[in-house]
Structure 1
Amino acid sequence: MQKHDNASAHLSKEYDSKIHSTIPYYENFHQEIINLIKSMDIESNTWLDTGCGTGTFVQKALMSFKNTQFILADPSEGMLNESKEKLAEYGERIKLLEPIPSQKISIKEKMDIITAIQSHHYMSKE
């Protein structure tokens, strides 16, 4: 059995293919959040996605928010590596932070949007 490289039940490399067996309709979370943000008519220049996982959500959001720069954070280096590979074609629109949990993120610039999908339930009480 392989050691897990993140807090989920799946290895980072297998996460996208396995998450649907754990959470049916997982992709609907992403679309509904995108729909909600669109309905709020927010000018979104900067967006922080904490607990970004493999970058699947940001990959979808990039298509709808063409003028937005995304900053991705995750405590798992494995998940960040998957995000980096998946989002490489987007160049400067993507910034990946070093592996870091949400509560330790320190960004001086103002974020227009901050998302944390299916991530904070993995945090310890401390």
Structure 2
Amino acid sequence: MPTYNAAFDAFEYNDKVEKTVPYYNEFFKQIIDIVDVLEFKDIDWLDIGCGTGKMAEAAYNYFNINEFAFCDVSEEMLNITRERFKNKNNRFFLMSAEEIEFCDKYDIVTSIMVNHYFNKTVRERVILNCYKALKKGGVLFSFENFAPNTGFGKSMQLKRWKKYQINNGKSENEAESHINRYGVNYYPITISSQLDILKKCGFNKYETIWISGMQAGFMGIK
């Protein structure tokens, strides 16, 4: 099974990610708001790289979910989600986004802080898999780290990101270690390059829906 080098394990994830990624919880609010505006009903939802189930928690709080599918490469993450949502209509898939082979099945596909772990070639294949998994009119939401357009922008934003982590309780060494993952353990691309991939994969409409620091949100409609 293909894997990616995630920053945190299942049992520390929720605590660590909020100290590391600015506005992390805002990602889910943005998705919920747009799904609400688009007026989806009885939703079939696939969450790739589901982690501990924060996307599912938000979705179940706001919408009538017909089926929620959890997909992750971590068996520990899936065990957590099974326990959290054991009384819901769910499916669980221990697999990478590279391996999904659904066709015209889901209204919504979400991928939160996942795609930047893939190089450009694999990223295109993953996004194409997401496109195929969607029903006509379905929506892909992706939030991830992105690459600034210039060297100056990269340097400035990485310094801001390091400062954020230190201000939220990390040591300087911990913050520096995470910053040094850029281009080594994950592979951000520019916002324009991300939109180009959505277009190339066949999405009828595609937009940047949120930007802050070095994180951005995107959507594509099949």
1:123–1:76: structure 2 CA closer, same or farther, 3 Å change rule? farther
Distance of 2:75 and 2:56 partners within structure 1: 17
Return the letter of the residue paired with 1:20.
E
Distance of 1:83 and 1:49 partners within structure 2: 12
Contact 2:41 2:63 in 1 (8 A): no
- Following TM superposition, the consecutive aligned residue runs of length 4 or more in structure 1 with deviations greater than 3 angstroms are none
- Which has the bigger relative contact order, CA under 8 A and spacing at least 6? 1
Q: Which 10-residue stretch deviates more, 81-90 or 33-42? A: 81-90
Distance of 2:7 and 2:62 partners within structure 1: 30
Equivalent residue number for residue 96 of structure 1 = 92
Displacement of 1:56 in angstroms is: 1.2
Question: In proportion to residue count, which structure has more strand?
Answer: 2
Displacement of 1:123 in angstroms is: 2.5
Q: Out of 40, 47, 55, which is 1:57 matched to?
A: 55
The alignment yields a C-alpha RMSD, in angstroms, of 2.0
Displacement of 1:108 in angstroms is: 4.6
Distance of 1:7 and 1:58 partners within structure 2: 23
Structure 2: gaps (5+ residues): 123-222
1:86–1:100: structure 2 CA closer, same or farther, 3 Å change rule? same
Counterpart check, 1:24 vs 2:22: yes
Distance of 2:58 and 2:40 partners within structure 1: 17
Contact 1:44 1:113 in 2 (8 A): no
Distance of 1:77 and 1:66 partners within structure 2: 27
Equivalent residue number for residue 161 of structure 2 = none
Matched positions, count? 119
Structure 1: gaps (5+ residues): none
Q: How does 1:29-108 map to 2 (within 5 A)?
A: 29-90=27-88, 93-97=89-93, 99-108=94-103
TM-score (norm 1): 0.82
Equivalent residue number for residue 122 of structure 1 = 117
Return the letter of the residue paired with 2:58.
K
Distance of 2:77 and 2:43 partners within structure 1: 24
TM-score (norm 2): 0.49
Contact 1:6 1:12 in 2 (8 A): no
Query: % of aligned pairs identical?
Result: 31
Contact 2:4 2:117 in 1 (8 A): no
Larger Rg: 2
SS in 2 for 1:52: coil
Return the letter of the residue paired with 2:105.
K
SS in 1 for 2:57: helix
Return the letter of the residue paired with 2:91.
K
Contact 2:50 2:71 in 1 (8 A): yes
Displacement of 1:19 in angstroms is: 0.7
Q: Which 10-residue stretch deviates more, 49-58 or 79-88? A: 79-88
